[in-house]
């Protein structure tokens, strides 16, 4: 079964730290249609996930299925935006940074699953 957006945010929130995000600061709001609104606050390698609306430097809007596909590394962020499956407005630099980290993580997770299979 495909994970849900809430599961993914819970997983991301539980980690709370990523050295690849050192130097990255800002808030990204995910407006997941039919699932809810989450904000992720990045502060120099640490981050905090909050299930609430509010101001953000970057707003990403999408359907839940598309969010899951991108977060799981099954679709590239850029093509999701170009296909109009993701809408990103605000600090696009933050989006590109996030894209790199999410896709690296998805690949690392996949590799680890293959190893344990």
Partner 1 sequence: MSALVSILDGNTFVVSDRTGNVAGSASEPQGLFHADTRFLSRWVLTINGQRPGVLSVDDLNYFSTQFFLTPSATNVYVNSGISVRRKRAVGDGFHEDIVIENHETQPVDLELRIEAAADFADLFEVKDELAKRGEVYRRVEDGRLVLGYRRERFERETWITATAPQARFDENGVSFLVRIPAQGTWRTCLEVVTAVRTIQRGLLTRTRCGHTGDNGDSRMATTTQKWLDQAPLLSSSWPELPRVYEKCISDLAALRFETGVVPGALPAAGLPWFMAVFGRDSLLTSFQALPFQPELAKSTLELLALMQGGKIDDFRDEEPGKIIHELRLGELTAFEERPHSPYFGAADSTTLFLVLLDEYERWSGDVELVRRLEPVARNALSWIDQYGDRDGDGFIEYKSRNPKTGLENQCWKDSWDSIRFADGRFATLPRAICELQGYAYDAKRRAARLAREIWKDPEFGARLEREAAELKRRFNQEFWLEDRGYFALALDGEKQKVDALTSNIGHLLFSGIVDSDKAGRVAQHLLGERLFSGWGVRTMAEGDTAYNPIGYHVGTVWPHDCSFIALGLRQYGFDREAARLALAILEASVFFGGRPPEAFGGYPRNVTHFPVEYPTACSPQAWASGAPLLMLRVLLGLEPIGNHLLVAPAVPSSIERIELLGIPGRWGRADAFARGLISLSGDQEVRRFTRT
**What Cα–Cα distance (Å) separates residue 95 from each residue in 2, 11, 42?**
24, 19, 12
Length of the chain counted residue by residue: 117
- Please report, for residues 11, 18, 55, the alpha-carbon distance to residue 14 in angstroms, rounded to integers and kept in the order given: 5, 11, 23
Stretch of residues binding partner 1 (CB under 8 A), selected from 7-15, 37-45, 47-55, 104-112: 104-112
Show the binding pattern over residues 19-48: x = contacts partner 1 (CB under 8 A), - = does not.
-x-xx-------x-x---------------
Q: Which two tokens stand for residue 38?
A: 């989450």
For partner 1, the closer of residues 12 and 101 by Cβ is 101
Q: Between 54 and 93, how does the x/- string for binding to partner 1 read (CB under 8 A)? A: -------xx-------------x-xx--xxxxxx-x--xx
Stretch that binds partner 1, among 7-15, 36-44, 47-55, 103-111 (CB under 8 A): 103-111
CA nearest neighbour of 15 among 99, 102, 87, 110: 102
Over the Cα atoms of the chain, what is R_g?
A: 13
* 3-state secondary structure (DSSP) of residue 82: helix
- Residue 51 binds to partner 1 (criterion: CB under 8 A): no
Binding site for partner 1 (CB under 8 A): 20, 22-23, 31, 33, 61-62, 76, 78-79, 82-87, 89, 92-93, 96-97, 100-101, 103-104, 106-107
């Amino acid at each position: 079964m495909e994970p849900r957006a809430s599961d993914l945010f819970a997983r991301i929130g539980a980690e709370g730290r990523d050295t690849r995000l050192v130097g990255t600061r800002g808030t990204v709001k995910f407006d997941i249609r039919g699932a809810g609104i989450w904000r992720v606050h990045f502060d120099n390698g640490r981050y905090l996930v909050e299930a609430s609306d509010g101001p953000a430097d970057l707003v990403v809007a999408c359907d839940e299925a598309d969010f899951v596909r991108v977060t799981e590394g099954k679709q590239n962020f850029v093509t999701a935006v170009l296909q109009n499956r993701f809408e990103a407005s605000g600090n696009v630099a933050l989006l590109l940074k996030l894209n790199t980290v999410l896709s690296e993580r998805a690949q690392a997770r996949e590799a680890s699953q293959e190893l344990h299979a």
